[in-house]
């Protein structure tokens, strides 16, 4: 199922930490991000939040909205495949984005799987 994701990339030496907004049609966003780890093993990558939806266009729209709200503010020396729009965010902003994306994901799950939600609440 397509998803929009918010990921953290971190390098230990020299220390560098930044975030990336993206989308993928893969079922697991790490499948997409593992390519970065394979090409650049000096980076650790983890997904901080994701929004799932049946429509890749919806996921692209969420990604674009976040990239507009938080435009690229950091340039990396390494040329990493798929890492062009990256940002460095303070902790409060980063945590706000994670909360907002998790809330959006809950809303999209309820809209996509209404019967599953009513089954859970009745059990």
Q: What percent of the chain has pLDDT over 90?
A: 58
**What total number of domains does the chain contain?**
1
How do residues 77-95 score in pLDDT, each as one tens digit?
Answer: 877 776 767 899 999 999 9
What is the overall mean pLDDT for the chain?
88
Kindly state the DSSP code that residue 2 receives in the 8-state scheme. Answer: -
Kindly state the DSSP code that residue 11 receives in the 8-state scheme. Answer: E
Q: Which residue spans within the chain are E strands per DSSP?
A: 3-11, 16-24, 43-52, 86-87
How do residues 55-71 score in pLDDT, each as one tens digit?
Answer: 999 999 999 999 999 99
Comparing 119 with 62, the larger pLDDT belongs to: 62
The range of the structural domain enclosing residue 56 comes to 3-122
Which stretch of 11-20, 55-64, 95-104, 107-116 has the lowest confidence by average pLDDT?
107-116
Tokens of 92: 């409060």
pLDDT at position 122 over 70 = no
Residue length of the chain: 123
pTM: 0.87
Q: How confident is the model at residue 116 (pLDDT cuts 50, 70, 90)?
A: low
């Amino acid at each position: 199922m397509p998803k929009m994701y918010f990921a953290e990339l971190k390098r230990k030496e020299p220390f560098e930490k930044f975030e990336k907004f993206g989308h993928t049609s893969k079922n697991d966003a790490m499948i997409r991000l593992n390519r970065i780890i394979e090409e650049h093993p000096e980076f650790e990558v983890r997904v901080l939040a994701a929004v799932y939806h049946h429509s890749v266009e919806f996921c692209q729209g969420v990604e674009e909205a976040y990239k507009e709200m938080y435009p690229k503010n950091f340039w990396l020396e390494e040329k990493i495949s798929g890492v062009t729009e990256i940002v460095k965010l303070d902790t409060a902003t980063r945590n706000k984005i994670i909360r907002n994306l998790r809330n959006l994901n809950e809303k999209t799950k309820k809209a996509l799987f209404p019967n599953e939600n009513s089954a859970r609440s009745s059990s």
